[in-house]
Amino acid sequence: MKFPVDKNFFLDRSIRSGYAIAFLLLLVSYILIFSTNTKLQQQAQAVENSNNIITHLESLQSIVTDAETGVRGYMIGKDNHFLEPYYNSEKNIDSSIGKLRTLTILNPLQKEMADTLNRLIVKRLQILKAGKNNFDKSGGVITDSLKTILYTGKIAMDEVRELTQRMKTEERRNLNQGNTELKEFRGAIKVINITSLFIAFLLIAYSFTTYNRENKLKKQADTQTLLYSQELEEKIKDLKEANEELIELRRNEKFAFTGRMARTIAHEVKNPLTNIGLAAEQLKDVVPQNEESNLLFGMIARNSTRINQLVTDLLNSTKTLHLKFEKVSVNHLLDEALEMAEDRIELNHIKVEKKYTTDICDVAVDKEQIKIAFLNLIVNAVEATEAGKGVPHLKTDNKNDKCVVTIEDNGIGMKEEDLTKLFEPFFTNKPKGTGLGLTNTQSIILNHKGTINVESKPSKGTKFEITLDFA
């Protein structure tokens, strides 16, 4: 049984092998170039160093010669102007000797000769000084002792010239050797550059051939990928829409269930409450009136009233509303709700920022009910922010032919687990809250066939987004 041969596998392997070989060749070429360039720089530095040494040697010899000539001129002409080169010689020699020692620090032989040269030059200057002093003491007469000094100085100067010449000869030899090596390095670099260029041309040709062959396959793969991507995007879009519909359906079912539960609770609670109230009234007529009995009957009455009010609020927050629809600007509704919350806003020293879309269409709503919903959300935004630092944002927009109202704050935010219970009756994080405000708000929005969504993160604030139909 023969298995099909995967041509793409062998093609990919040959392409990778070709690129790997080309890369290795270029890498070796670049390493050789780098190494040769390093040696070239070192050799060029050595050549420059030799030239500088020769220059300083010639400068030293010239300085000593000028000093010697100056002293002779002084003895012949008896003019102190001739001594100026002699007086400057010590400073100039120290400078040149210092540079010469630095340049010969890596060459022990030359460094030793530089130290010897320094001693000879110092000796020569001392002889010149002794000759000048002798000449001055003799009253400008050349004596036998002065002649002896001058002869000794000539010998010292000859030693300086000889040692200087030896050092220059050594440096010229190094210079010639360096120039020869430079030529060899340049020749090697030329060969390496030509080889690198040849390899580059081969790589370009190989790449061009490979690209033409691969480009066709790539286009086919890109086309197939694009089709898959479009198909995937469509499925994601459908899945997102289905998920949103499912969330909305679950929210409506939860709201309907809450309403049924509220009506059941109202039926089961209000009847016993009525009996409790009647029984308490009858007991008041039977039990003797005193402070303790009045306190207990008052407690029964107050708690019965409180339970009755809670049940009534629960029913009101979940029941189907009888709405009076009218066309009205959603921007005006938000402004009216803001006016209703003005005292709370000023008390907390909060600045509300508005970003309304001015050309937005009117919405068909029950004006008073929607204002209650907006007011609840605005008050929540105010209470969720720190006094003096809160900046609630109100925004209206037109998205997908729907009126979208956004109420956002920069307050404390909520945890994920709190978000799932946010619209449940009696759920609240406020110390004195009843937990029915957002339930009532949701009821109003759902009775208008709208939607309400919330996003929140701890310390990042909370954003409510209400969607309503245009009129």
pLDDT 10s digits, 112-149: 888 888 888 888 888 888 888 888 888 888 888 888 88
Burial 33-67 (b: 16+ CB within 10 A, else e): beebeebbeebeebbebbeebbbbbebbbebbebb
Do the beta carbons of residue 54 and residue 63 sit within 8 Å? no
pLDDT at 252: 62
| Domain co-membership, 163 together with 41 | yes
**pTM as predicted:** 0.44
pLDDT 10s digits, 18-47: 667 667 766 776 777 777 777 777 777 777
| Domain co-membership, 29 together with 165 | yes
Q: Flag whether 225 is in a domain.
A: no
CA dist 41 and 242 (Å) reads 72
**CB-based contacts of 273: which residues, under 8 Å, 6+ apart?**
304, 307, 308
List, edge to edge, every strand of the sheet that includes 393-399: 353-355, 393-399, 402-408, 461-468, 451-457
Burial class (CB in 10 A: 0-12, 13-18, 19+), 82: middle
Q: Calculate what percentage of the chain has a pLDDT beyond 70.
A: 84
pLDDT at 1: 43
CA dist 373 and 337 (Å) reads 9
pLDDT at 405: 95
To the nearest whole number, what is the mean pLDDT of the chain? 80
| Domain co-membership, 212 together with 324 | no
| Domain co-membership, 62 together with 187 | yes
Domain count, the chain: 2
Q: Which of 165-169, 207-211, 387-391, 401-405 has the highest mean pLDDT?
A: 401-405
Do the beta carbons of residue 33 and residue 133 sit within 8 Å? no
Do the beta carbons of residue 330 and residue 468 sit within 8 Å? yes
386 backbone dihedrals φ, ψ, rounded to 5°? -75, 140
The residue among 216, 241, 259 that closes a domain is 216
Q: Flag whether 309 is in a domain.
A: no
Helix (H) or strand (E) holding 463: strand 461-468
The DSSP output letter for 80 is G
| Domain co-membership, 48 together with 168 | yes
Q: Flag whether 379 is in a domain.
A: yes
The residue among 160, 190, 216 that closes a domain is 216
| Domain co-membership, 199 together with 337 | no
412 backbone dihedrals φ, ψ, rounded to 5°? -75, -20
Q: What is the mean pLDDT of residues 318-333?
A: 82
Q: Which of 12-21, 27-36, 68-77 has the highest mean pLDDT?
A: 68-77
Q: Flag whether 441 is in a domain.
A: yes
Q: Flag whether 278 is in a domain.
A: no
| Encoded amino acid at 153, one letter | G
Beta strands in 16-154 (DSSP E): none
Burial class (CB in 10 A: 0-12, 13-18, 19+), 110: buried
pLDDT 10s digits, 388-440: 888 899 999 999 889 999 999 998 888 888 887 887 777 777 766 666 778 88
Beta bridge partners of 455: 463
pLDDT for residue 7 is more than 60: no
Q: Flag whether 407 is in a domain.
A: yes
Domain residues for the domain of 49 are 7-216
Q: What is the mean pLDDT of residues 191-196?
A: 76
The count of other CB atoms within 10 Å of the CB of residue 348 is: 15
Q: Confidence band (pLDDT; 50, 70, 90) for 330?
A: very high
| Domain co-membership, 329 together with 203 | no
Q: Flag whether 449 is in a domain.
A: yes
Q: Flag whether 337 is in a domain.
A: yes
The residue among 216, 235, 250 that closes a domain is 216
Query: Regarding predicted confidence, which is higher, 81 or 436?
Result: 81
Query: Regarding predicted confidence, which is higher, 268 or 71?
Result: 71
For residue 113, the SS3 value is helix
Q: Confidence band (pLDDT; 50, 70, 90) for 6?
A: very low
pLDDT for residue 328 is more than 90: yes
The DSSP output letter for 470 is B
Q: Confidence band (pLDDT; 50, 70, 90) for 201?
A: confident
77 backbone dihedrals φ, ψ, rounded to 5°? -95, -10
pLDDT for residue 362 is more than 70: yes
Tell me, what CATH number does 376's domain have?
A: 3.30.565.10
Do the beta carbons of residue 404 and residue 356 sit within 8 Å? no
Q: Calculate what percentage of the chain has a pLDDT beyond 90.
A: 12
Closest CA to 171 of 333, 11, 52: 52
